[in-house]
Amino acid sequence: MFTEKLRAIAAIICLLLAGCGRKDSGSAAASNKVRIGYVGITCEAPIFSAVENGFFKEEGLDVEMVKCEWANYKDILALGGFDITHHLVMYFLKPIEQGLDVKFTGGIHRGCLRVQAAVNGKINSIADLRGKSIGVPGMGTPPFIFANRVLGAHGIDPSKEVSWRVFPAGELGLALDKGEIDAIADSEPIGSLLIAQGKVKNISDQAQDPPYKDEYCCAVIVNGKFLRVNPKAAAAATRALLKGAKWVEANPAAAARLSVEKGYLASSPELNTVALSHLRYVPSVSGGEAAVASAAAEMKVAGMLSPTTDVSDLAKRAFVHLDGVTDEWLQNLQVEKVAGGQVPPDQDIRLYAELILHDTEASCCKAKKVLAAQK
């Protein structure tokens, strides 16, 4: 009798689970809705541009934007709080190693991270950082991970041979001024603003220094369950984001204005233009895949991945190729070049940034005179 009751209960549970499974798969597969996660930072311009220019609609998708915080960004994606975004490769590799169910699908841009030191200080190279203190906006943040990679690549053990101190991103420059730290690791727009203020020099620049200058720091990343249930929508959303990146590269000033004026981030169009001008939005599928492999290899050297991790296997697990998302498609993709959407080639970015930062009549006059003298 007891055995029969157990069998009946088990059968009911199986039916309930099967019913739930069918409902989830059917509704997800039939839907053209995609939820895009974002934090509200400069480098997310392709997301904002793709939404505002209708690139998702062109792919037959209905978009919902989901605002997130840094602290729970990875978890919200993994748990299905949103379906797709683009973000830093290094930020997700350790969680993927540990089983996070997400996949990269294409490279978005290069060059948003820096390691910097005081402009008149004694630190002039990564080797000079041995035994020194480095300020970061948080342990485990992308600037922290990048600094670890760079240190490890130069034979410095980041867990033993340097000390780390956490400051709010906007206070890193002040901490450096006060001598509380010897160097900082940061991202845009902080790095460009500190250079514009004449406070720092670059010790390692992801936009300029090999091998990082050719590596995609940010890539499209999609929730694993969403990808398995709705691969066509995942591919369509990836194409929309990659097209957004190509549009930003062609129209950086317009993209910067759009991001601010539509309320996606708190900045000014001018400051956002300065920050965007340092990034390269040349989307690439093969480039994104290569970045996953190279970042994994250096993160292991820096001790940020398990010593037993097979980085080649990790890279294969972390990246997926989607139908209709190829380098050939990207090469043939044309985007509009809007009037006034570009940064003038002869514009002195540092002087431009100083104008914005000080915003006084005197500095405006001075900068105009300098610019006039250069012509």
How do residues 326-346 score in pLDDT, each as one tens digit?
Answer: 999 999 999 999 999 988 766
E strand residue ranges, the chain:
33-38, 62-67, 84-88, 102-110, 113-118, 133-136, 163-166, 183-187, 200-205, 216-223
Q: What is the pLDDT of residue 12?
A: 36
Q: What is the pLDDT of residue 336?
A: 95
Question: Per the omega criterion (within 30 degrees of 0), is the bond before 210 cis?
Answer: no
Q: What is the pLDDT of residue 298?
A: 86
CA neighbours within 13 Å on the CB side: how many for 356?
20
By C-alpha distance, which of 315, 278, 279 is closest to 297?
A: 315
Evaluate whether 221 touches 77 at the Cβ level (below 8 Å). Answer: yes
Q: What is the pLDDT of residue 250?
A: 96
Q: Read off the tokens for 231.
A: 């691969």
The residue whose two tokens read 């003038």 is 344
Q: What is the pLDDT of residue 352?
A: 53
Distance of CA 276 to the CA centre of its chain: 13
Confidence of residue 371 (pLDDT cuts 50, 70, 90): very low
> Which residues fall within 8 angstroms of residue 301, CB to CB, at 6 or more apart?
149, 152, 153
Confidence of residue 15 (pLDDT cuts 50, 70, 90): very low
Going across the sheet that includes 216-223, the strands are: 62-67, 33-38, 84-88, 216-223, 102-110
> Which residues fall within 8 angstroms of residue 189, CB to CB, at 6 or more apart?
42, 267, 271, 272, 274, 275
How many Å apart are CA 12 and CA 205, to the nearest integer? Answer: 60
How do residues 58-70 score in pLDDT, each as one tens digit?
Answer: 999 999 999 988 7
Confidence of residue 33 (pLDDT cuts 50, 70, 90): very high
2-6, 236-240, 256-260, range with greatest mean pLDDT: 236-240
Alpha-carbon torsion 135, 136, 137, 138, what sign? negative
Which residues on neighbouring strands pair with residue 165, listed in sequence order?
A: 135
**First and final CA of the chain: distance in angstroms?**
96
Rounded (10°) CA dihedral 295, 86, 145, 124: 90
Quote the mean pLDDT of the chain. 84
Whether this model's pTM surpasses 0.75: yes
Confidence of residue 132 (pLDDT cuts 50, 70, 90): very high
pLDDT at 9 > cutoff 90: no
Instruction: Give the three-class secondary structure for 206.
Output: coil
How do residues 222-234 score in pLDDT, each as one tens digit?
Answer: 999 999 999 999 9
Least confident span in 122-126, 255-259, 361-365: 361-365
Q: What is the pLDDT of residue 269?
A: 84
Q: What is the pLDDT of residue 266?
A: 80
Q: Which domains does the chain have, with CATH numbers?
A: 31-108+214-287+306-332 (3.40.190.10), 113-205 (3.40.190.10)
Residues in the chain: 375
Q: Which amino acid belongs to residue 24?
A: D
Higher pLDDT: 145 or 9? It is 145
Residue 178: C-alpha distances to residues 128, 173, 175, 311, 317 (Å): 19, 9, 5, 40, 45
- The neighbour count for residue 326, using CB atoms within 10 Å, is 15
Higher pLDDT: 190 or 2? It is 190
Q: What is the pLDDT of residue 356?
A: 52
Q: Which amino acid belongs to residue 171?
A: E
- The neighbour count for residue 8, using CB atoms within 10 Å, is 10
What angle, rounded to 10 degrees, do the helices at 311-318 and 89-97 form?
Answer: 110
Instruction: Give the three-class secondary structure for 114.
Output: strand
